[in-house]
């Protein structure tokens, strides 16, 4: 023992302390998840157990997890992780952590043992005479499940579900009593060309109603997003009711969600980005290879920016929004900005955030057609339409997609916009419009699908055709203006470089090839290129002109820095605005817990309805891996968020267990209702057959859900 301890101490001494802390944090996190999920299963089975005992039924086993034999070749795994017998019951933890069960005398969920179990509970009737059919030859063991009345058996079967519903309310009530952290449904920005942007919804607006959620001034952003997703899955063409509050005034909209953020055309969105705070992320404070990465370090984790260029940032109540900093970085993208941080110990630290030079392939991209104009905005009033091609802005005609956007940010007065429009006869004409600046709907971020002349309410695409090629740049040897880029593939220097960027850039760019299309757009590509190291080798595929001659271009370039062009986003990683929803009394906590449980229950029922009617794709189903992953993400946010997830899980377990499927509690209840109506039990053979069908259905469903889990992990 002493040698083993010495070895461990030596190992710990040589271990990176930060790595050790991460390991211990992960272990603690998964321990919370395991205990939480185990608790949900435990209380469900405890409900059955207590109800059975109260009715005088003998309980032979009480297990969390299933104690089935597992043989892998010659290796035999233990059936349990631990067990003990107390009184007449064996208690244990099964080797397979996918549920639990209470084994009662006369009841077995395995239909193959039904006949054997029925024989066990038969007791010879001492008063019966052999051959006398007027007196039963046997009676049922009075402590068996089958010997109890229909109402008693209904109580026992439904007790697990009842306890799950009660504990769901208790979990949520405890969370609200403690205080649930959440990101409020405040509009930080809207994505150019998306429904919220087209409606002109302004940053700072608070969402108070969406879909079936009404008049909730503490609406969470994730609940808003889930409601929109659910409404869209139910009917992708139906507008979503959406009400925002701005400066004390409520405005309602009917927004038709967009599918353009999902290549599978399943998930819908309206293009609302949450309000960001000036508090840096608690883990990684800057994006890789950014200007911020050069001047900030781990000492600024969770630090809050309180001043910019020597001036205090404006407050919204107790909160400081990121908007002024983003606007300053856009307007002065070539200048350094001084930021003052407030640290956890109340000390302050100043940093000078340098400008970030643009990284490029050595060319600029052409302006694509207009994809949207703000409804009722000045551009729409002036006569601009979707499909118009901007050829001149404020007298300038040498335009590229990103330069046009920068030009508009530096302009705050009415401008002349010349567009090329194709009429119904297919003829092209040039039209000139004068457009005055309008209210801003989006912040200058470039990771969306479209770009925007936001002050003028115009969204447009960035073409994959090159507007210009730097004669001294890496593209010049193979490309010229007018050619198009169709695919980009990164050649990584080593696995360590690739690992560093994992989680920051999409898999498409990390391991695959970025094929430019309606989803993987040029703005998204350019934004992700900013996180790559200068000099990264990139294989670029393209075509001459419009590719009518079929000539393909294939070349390798190195990512370069543009000395006279800048990227406004300098790489700081901020958190969303966080609030705490805390009940002011025990009664209020219980009321909030009840409302939360009801809300989650309605959501589960709607989900099942969409699944049965085919409106929801089955590949959205998740299994144990998905459950543990989601639970882990909630646990990482603290105990209250984990309790809220356990509320959701408890309601799920209650509803799914009470579905009328043989082998589930709901299936048993159907048999009992039939017995009450008919006045006699359902035929044992039919019960066994139907239960076997139910078991096979459940095993198939579990296998399919597990397959989905694996597909998500590898995909």
pLDDT at residue 322 above 80? yes
Give the strands of the sheet with 249-255, arranged side by side: 206-210, 240-246, 249-255
Query: Per-residue pLDDT tens for 350-363?
Result: 999 999 999 999 99
**What per-residue confidence (pLDDT) applies to 336?**
96
Does residue 203 sit in helix, strand or coil?
A: coil
Give the per-residue pLDDT at 295: 95
Q: Which of 3-7, 33-37, 330-334 has the lowest mean pLDDT?
A: 3-7
In this predicted structure, which of 5-14, 303-312, 503-512 has the lowest mean pLDDT?
5-14
Average pLDDT over residues 47-52: 94
What span, in angstroms and rounded, lies between the C-alpha atoms of 116 and 113? 5
Is residue 2 very low, low, confident or very high in pLDDT (cuts 50, 70, 90)? very low
**Which pLDDT tens digit goes with each residue over 620-662?**
666 666 666 766 676 667 888 888 888 988 998 899 888 888 8
Q: Decide if 188 contacts 223 (C-beta within 8 A).
A: no
- Residue 192: predicted pLDDT: 92
Q: Is the pLDDT of residue 715 over 70?
A: no
* Assigned token pair, 369: 């057609």
Q: How far apart are CA 470 and CA 367, in angstroms?
A: 17
CATH 2.30.42.10 in the chain is located at 276-357, 362-558
How far, in Å, CA of 45 to CA of 705, rounded?
Answer: 23
For residue 435, what are the contacts with CB-CB under 8 A and spacing of at least 6?
378, 379, 382, 384, 414, 415, 417, 456, 457, 458
Lowest mean pLDDT among 279-283, 441-445, 518-522, 596-600: 441-445
Residue by residue, DSSP assigns 378-396 as HHHHHT--TT-EEEEETTB
Question: Which H, E and C letters describe 503-536, residue by residue?
Answer: CCECHHHHCCCEECCCCCCHHHHHHHHCCCCCCC
Residue 627 confidence (pLDDT)? 66
What lies within 8 Å, CB to CB, of 593 at 6+ separation is 168, 169, 170, 171, 172, 173, 174, 175, 176, 647
Question: 362-558 is classed in which CATH architecture?
Answer: Roll (2.30)
Higher pLDDT among residues 256 and 132, named by residue:
256
**Is 169's pLDDT higher than 60?**
yes
Please, is 157 exposed, middle or buried when counting C-beta atoms within 10 Å of its C-beta (0-12, 13-18, 19+)?
A: buried
Which pLDDT band, with edges at 50, 70 and 90, does 71 fall under?
confident
pLDDT (tens digit per residue) in 187-209? 999 999 999 999 999 999 999 99
Tens digits of residue pLDDT in 111-146 = 677 677 777 777 666 655 565 555 565 677 888 888
Residue 10 reports pLDDT greater than 60: no
Mean pLDDT of 408-425: 89
pLDDT in tens, 355-408: 999 999 999 999 999 999 999 999 999 999 999 999 999 999 889 999 998 888
Instruction: Render pLDDT for 543-562 as a digit per residue (tens, 0 to 9).
Output: 987 765 668 899 999 999 99
Q: What digits encode the pLDDT tens for the residues 84-103?
A: 999 899 999 888 877 888 99
For residue 107, the model assigns a pLDDT of: 80
Q: Tokens 């940032």 correspond to what residue?
A: 313
Average pLDDT, the chain: 85
**pLDDT at residue 11 in the model:** 36
Q: Is the pLDDT of residue 286 over 70?
A: yes
CATH number of 276-357: 2.30.42.10
pTM above 0.85, yes or no: no
């Amino acid at each position: 023992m002493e040698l083993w301890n010495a070895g461990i101490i030596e190992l710990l001494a040589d271990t990176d302390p930060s790595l050790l802390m991460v390991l211990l944090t992960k272990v603690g996190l998964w321990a919370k998840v395991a205990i939480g999920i185990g608790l949900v299963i435990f209380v469900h089975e405890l409900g059955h157990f207590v109800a059975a005992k109260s009715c005088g039924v003998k309980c032979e086993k009480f297990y969390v997890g299933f104690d089935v034999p597992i043989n892998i070749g010659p290796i035999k795994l233990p059936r349990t992780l631990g067990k003990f017998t107390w009184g007449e019951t064996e208690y244990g933890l099964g080797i397979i952590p996918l549920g639990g069960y209470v084994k009662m005398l006369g009841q077995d969920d395995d239909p193959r043992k039904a006949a054997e179990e029925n024989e066990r509970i038969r007791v010879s009737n001492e008063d019966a005479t052999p051959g006398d059919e007027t007196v039963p030859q046997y009676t049922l063991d009075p402590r068996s499940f089958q010997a109890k009345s229909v109402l008693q058996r209904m109580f026992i079967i439904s007790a697990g579900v009842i306890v799950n519903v009660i504990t769901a309310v208790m979990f949520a009530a405890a969370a609200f009593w403690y205080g649930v952290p959440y990101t409020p449904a405040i509009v930080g920005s809207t994505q150019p060309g998306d429904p919220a942007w087209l409606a002109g919804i302004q940053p700072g607006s608070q969402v108070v109603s969406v879909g079936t959620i009404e008049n909730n001034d503490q609406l969470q952003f994730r609940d808003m997003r889930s409601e929109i997703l659910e409404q869209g899955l139910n009917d992708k063409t139906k507008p979503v009711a959406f009400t925002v509050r701005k400066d004390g005034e409520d405005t309602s909209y009917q927004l038709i969600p967009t599918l353009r953020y999902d290549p599978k055309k399943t998930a819908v969105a309206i293009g609302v980005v949450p309000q960001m705070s000036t508090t840096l992320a608690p883990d990684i404070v800057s994006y890789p290879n950014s200007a911020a990465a050069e001047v900030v370090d781990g000492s600024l984790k969770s630090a809050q920016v309180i001043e910019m260029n020597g001036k205090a940032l404006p407050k919204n109540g107790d909160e400081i929004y990121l908007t002024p900093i983003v606007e300053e970085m856009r307007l002065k993208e070539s200048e350094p900005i001084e930021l003052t941080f407030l640290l956890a110990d109340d000390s302050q630290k100043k940093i000078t955030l340098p400008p970030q030079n643009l990284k490029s392939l050595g060319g600029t991209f052409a302006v694509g057609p207009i994809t949207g104009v703000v409804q009722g905005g000045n551009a729409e009033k002036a006569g601009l339409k979707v499909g118009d091609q901007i050829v001149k802005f404020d007298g300038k005609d040498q335009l590229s997609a990103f330069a046009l956007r920068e030009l508009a940010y530096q302009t705050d007065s009415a401008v002349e916009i010349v567009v090329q429009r194709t009429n119904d006869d297919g003829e092209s004409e040039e039209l000139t419009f004068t457009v005055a600046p309008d209210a801003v709907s989006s912040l200058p971020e470039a990771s969306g699908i479209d770009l925007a002349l936001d002050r003028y309410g115009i969204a447009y695409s960035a073409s994959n055709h090159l507007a210009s090629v730097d004669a001294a740049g890496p593209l010049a040897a193979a490309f010229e203006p007018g050619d198009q880029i169709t695919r980009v593939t990164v050649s990584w220097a080593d696995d360590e470089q690739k690992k560093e960027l994992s989680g920051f850039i999409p898999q498409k760019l990390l391991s695959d090839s970025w094929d430019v299309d309606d989803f993987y757009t040029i703005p998204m590509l350019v934004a992700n290129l900013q996180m790559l190291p200068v000099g990264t080798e990139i294989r670029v595929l393209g075509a001459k002109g419009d590719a009518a001659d079929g000539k393909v271009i294939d070349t390798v370039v190195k990512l370069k820095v543009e000395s006279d062009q800048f990227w406004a986003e300098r790489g700081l990683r901020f958190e969303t605005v966080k609030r705490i929803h805390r009940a002011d009394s025990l009664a209020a906590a219980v009321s909030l817990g009840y409302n939360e449980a009801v809300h989650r229950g309605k959501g589960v029922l709607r989900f099942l309805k969409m699944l049965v009617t085919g409106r929801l794709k089955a590949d959205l189903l998740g299994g144990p891996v998905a459950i543990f992953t989601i639970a882990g993400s909630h646990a990482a946010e603290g105990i209250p968020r984990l309790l809220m997830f356990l509320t959701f899980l408890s309601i799920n377990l209650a509803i799914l267990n009470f579905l009328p499927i043989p082998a589930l509690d709901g299936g048993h209840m159907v048999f009992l209702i039939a017995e009450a109506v008919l006045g006699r039990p359902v035929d044992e053979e039919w019960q066994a057959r139907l239960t076997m069908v139910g078991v096979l259905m459940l095993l198939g469903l579990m296998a399919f859900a597990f397959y989905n889990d694996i597909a998500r992990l590898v995909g």
